[in-house]
């Protein structure tokens, strides 16, 4: 479980440093934010794989940030773990109602936090280990970046690969062009929406020899979806 990126939102620097140190040592890529507005900017710039949010923050509460993330269609599936000094059971209920995926009470050991993070990431990943995705006759291996149909390799450019990986991780859901730009290209890059259409076309063309182009479906007026059901 390395290479995953975690954003820590915590205003107390010693605690943030302590958490960041432990996570980096465990192989995670770590970004830090000291308040909610910095966190929002950081998420818009580059989407983390998981968010660790302290309850008590200077501008908004961590719970408010969590609610906002879970209410937004673009970020609702981003796992959030709330950190808090409050041990009362009621807070735990409130935290989970706000959409947090888990809850860790301070003081916690680095080992405990790591165990919770790994558990939440496993739950968030549709295929458990995240090593390979399978759907509709396609296999995508995230370690080797190879896509195969049966025993044949599907030749894909890097953008088509990322697009297909995103689709296979989120099957049956419709994404607009701007959502795909956000999620596949990253919110910090300026790319025109029609670029999405270009890469969708290339992806379909690459799937055509295997008669799998129907997996990438156009939903009129809405966007695109990856589906193993007929259009
Ligand atoms: Ca705090």
Q: What is the Å distance from ligand 1's center to 57 Cα?
A: 5
**Ligand 1 centroid from CA 118, angstroms:** 23
| Tokens representing residue 71 in the block | 């209410």
Domains and CATH numbers, the chain: 5-124 (3.40.50.2300), 132-226 (1.10.10.10)
Angle separating helix axes 13-25 and 110-124, nearest 10 degrees: 60
pTM of the predicted model as reported, rounded to 2 decimal places: 0.59
- Paired tokens of 169: 């991780």
CA of 10 to the centre of ligand 1 (A): 5
Given a contact cutoff of 8 angstroms between Cβ atoms, the answer to whether 4 and 49 are in contact is yes
Q: Tens digits of per-residue pLDDT, 132-153?
A: 888 999 999 987 889 999 889 9
Quickly state the pLDDT bin for 76 (edges 50, 70, 90). Answer: confident
What is d(CA 4, CA 119) in angstroms, rounded to the nearest whole number? 13
Q: Which two tokens stand for residue 11?
A: 């205003």
58 C-alpha to ligand 1 centroid (Å)? 8
Cα of 130 to ligand 1 centre, how many Å? 32
Q: Are strands 50-54 and 80-84 parallel, antiparallel or unpaired?
A: parallel
User: What spacing in Å lies between the alpha carbon of 12 and ligand 1's midpoint?
Assistant: 5
Look at the block and give the residue holding tokens 């680095």.
Answer: 110
Check residue 8 and give its pLDDT. 98
- Single out the residue of 6, 77, 9, 80 nearest to residue 39, CA to CA: 9
């Amino acid at each position: 479980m390395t290479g995953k990126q975690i954003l820590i939102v915590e205003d107390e620097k010693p605690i943030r440093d302590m958490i960041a140190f432990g996570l980096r040592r465990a192989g995670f890529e770590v970004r830090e934010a000291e308040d909610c507005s910095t966190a929002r900017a950081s998420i818009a710039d580059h989407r983390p794989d998981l968010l660790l949010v302290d309850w008590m923050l200077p501008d908004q509460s961590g719970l408010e940030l969590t609610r906002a993330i879970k209410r937004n269609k673009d970020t609702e599936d981003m796992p959030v773990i709330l950190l808090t000094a409050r041990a009362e059971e009621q807070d735990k209920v409130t935290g989970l109602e706000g959409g947090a995926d888990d809850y860790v009470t301070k003081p916690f050991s680095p080992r405990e936090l790591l165990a919770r993070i790994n558990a939440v990431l496993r739950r968030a990943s549709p295929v458990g280990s995240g090593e390979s995705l399978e759907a509709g006759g396609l296999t995508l291996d995230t370690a080797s970046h190879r896509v195969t149909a049966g025993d044949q390799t599907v030749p894909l450019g890097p953008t088509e690969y990322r697009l297909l990986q995103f689709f296979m991780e989120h099957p049956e859901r419709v994404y607009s062009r701007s959502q795909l730009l956000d999620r596949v290209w990253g919110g910090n890059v300026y790319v025109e929406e029609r670029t999405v259409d270009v890469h969708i076309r290339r992806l379909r063309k690459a799937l055509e020899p295997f008669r799998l182009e129907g997996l990438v479906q156009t939903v009129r007026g809405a966007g695109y979806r990856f589906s193993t059901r007929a259009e």
